[in-house]
Structure 1
Amino acid sequence: MDTESTRTEWIRQQNELRARRIANDQLDFSVNITPRHIDSAAVDSSSSAPPVDMLDPLVRDFVSSRGDTASFDSSFEGLRYVGGVDIGFDHEEDQRGVRGPREAIAGATAVAVLVVLELPTLKVVYKDMEEGRLTLPYIPTFLAFRELPLLLRLFARLRSHPTWAHVFPQVVLVDGNGILHPRMMGLAAHLGIVADVPTIGVAKNFLHMNAEHLTVDGVKAGMKALHEASTGAMLPADGSGQALRSMLAPQVQEVDSSSDVTGALSGLSAIAPSGTSHTDFMPLIGSSGQLYGVTLLPTPSTTNPIFVSPGHRVSARTTLFLAKKLSLFRIPEPVRQADKIGRLRLSQLAKSAG
């Protein structure tokens, strides 16, 4: 495998797919998300910043919420079937007998799982697995090229199933990133475009993007600041954040810019509204002003965040509220159930091999 030439080709394909990605909601169910309360005092009319109506509506909604999904009413009428996707790996050696992190081993046995949950019960009504050896190693930011073949077989099988095709998911949550990716083409986005299905990326670990000043340390520090100060938004520290800061004045107080916390934010500054009691998400906005997704604490008892980003045919706002709605624990239920089923199968394979 010529790694350099392969990467060049994969980047070309990712860029082509990115041009086909649909960033707004194209769903067969209705989405209704409305603020519970709009505080007109949050807008500084004397500011020279652009009027609120001129701001990106996605960013405006995130800022208006003060980082608290409870400040919105959300409903999804007509949504009945939600999919979850996960791929697990065994601990086998690769073809050369080399051991390493299981996700990095070429030749490891993988189990891909697709589940469909029915709303409102979140009961699993369909599950399917695809097993196979992955011939490619794990290369950061190119996950889809390794895992997509197994996943596409699962979707094709369900689409043509004589009995279960009617439960084909209306939206799919994927264990992986959507546009929270250097080329905005993580596994969820890639899968959504190729399979032509609305997708949301749900990642347990943060994929840092130095070019956008989005780093692991910065996000951790930001979440710590948000949690401790009940802050409600993350804004770019450069000029692109000034309009949003003005929009929130005089309701906010800036975190001390000399503190170690804000120093670790790598181009982002935290702002904290007064009078808020809870913060469960933080928008992930790069230094370019691009909104990549959110860091989310899905339940009140969650202390370790997940990283949620739009994939394909789902807006950033709908991504946030669906991930929240579908979470009983830290991991949204469709992905959690797919992970459970995959782990059980891998355990069975390990026992039979031993």
Structure 2
Amino acid sequence: MLQSFPRPKDLREAAAIQKSLAEAVILQGDVGSARYVAALDASHPTRFSKVQGVSVAAAVLWNRQAGGVLEVATAWMDEADLFPYVPGFLSFRESPVYLAALAKLSCFPEVLLVDGQGVAHPRRLGIAAHLGVHLDVPAIGVAKTLLFGKPERELSKEAGSAVRLMHGSVQIGWVYRSRKGVQPLFVSPGHRVGMEESLVFLRSLVGKTRLPEPLRTAHLKAGEARRNSVVVNDK
């Protein structure tokens, strides 16, 4: 299932791959009964980082019924081996190291929750959609910043409020405020999940911070592993 991820030779080829794979995206499905979720986040070096040249991805296997972490797997790649960072092409940079982390989990998840975009993307194939199609598994993108589209109206500051994210007359996701007064998240289905169902699913994972708890844990684990320059597989 975790087959190798293609690396395009340039942005023109990358855009063509995205447009082609976007046709395979299925925006239908209800994952409300799923028990095992894998939250994916990555940590890259900055000019202030003590550890340079290494990017780390964390895959956190989360049990929705128990409301906790079952397993954490991390994987790393040298920055020199990664596709360059270009907005709109994040999947080509981060997916290989995400796949390496997923391969270390003892069981494969029923749903992927990815730090990034689903179909709220200029070519309808953000990283959650790309991974979802690549693995043929339900996937949802949860981004901290807006990449594409416009909210249909102003979002209330109340916790749990949501408005549709639009591209013209087409809905491509949600603008969602998880906690009162915090900056919103941008939620969009990636593959095999419906638009309404993606928001319902995310709301079931709300914790005490802005991010849903599985993604918050993945963010912390990826940063911790990269800072320590240690790749771990905690079970």
Per the normalisation by structure 1, the TM-score is 0.57
Pick 1 or 2: higher relative contact order, CA cutoff 8 A, min separation 6: 2
Is 1:227 matched up with 2:167? Answer: no
CA distance in 1, matches of 2:181, 2:137: 29
Superposition deviation, residue 171 in structure 1: 0.8
SS in 2 for 1:21: coil
Flag the structure with larger Rg.
1
Contact 1:111 / 1:129 at 8 angstroms: preserved in 2?
Answer: yes
Deviation track 1:61-103 (CA, whole Å, cap 9, x = no partner) reads: xxxxxxxxxxxxxxx34x2111100011123xxxxxxx5x98x
Superposition deviation, residue 227 in structure 1: 2.1
Contact 2:113 / 2:141 at 8 angstroms: preserved in 1?
Answer: yes
1:181 is aligned to 121
CA distance in 2, matches of 1:200, 1:16: 19
1:283 is aligned to 164
Instruction: Give the alignment of 1:19-58 within 5 angstroms.
Output: 19-25=23-29
List alignment gaps of at least 5 residues for structure 1: 30-75, 92-98, 159-163, 231-277
Is 1:343 matched up with 2:185? Answer: no
Q: In 2 relative to 1, CA 171–344 (structure 1 residues): closer, same or farther, beyond 3 Å? A: same
Richer in helix (by share): 1
Percentage identity across aligned positions? 33
Kindly provide the amino acid, as one letter, of the partner of residue 11 in structure 2: R
Q: 1:195 aligns with which of 135, 143, 147?
A: 135
Deviation track 1:118-156 (CA, whole Å, cap 9, x = no partner) reads: 123321101100011133320110111111111122233
Q: 2:147 aligns with which of 207, 214, 217?
A: 207
List alignment gaps of at least 5 residues for structure 2: 1-8, 231-235
Deviation track 1:7-63 (CA, whole Å, cap 9, x = no partner) reads: 1111111111111111111x6x5xxxxxxxxxxxxxxxxxxxxxxxxxxxxxxxxxx
Measured on the aligned residues, the alpha-carbon RMSD in Å equals 2.5
Per the normalisation by structure 2, the TM-score is 0.84
2:184 is aligned to 305
Superposition deviation, residue 222 in structure 1: 3.9
Deviation track 1:161-213 (CA, whole Å, cap 9, x = no partner) reads: xxx22xx211111000000100010010001111221100000011135xxxx
CA distance in 1, matches of 2:60, 2:104: 12
Matched residues, number:
218
Contact 1:83 / 1:116 at 8 angstroms: preserved in 2?
Answer: yes
1:152 is aligned to 99
2:4 is aligned to none
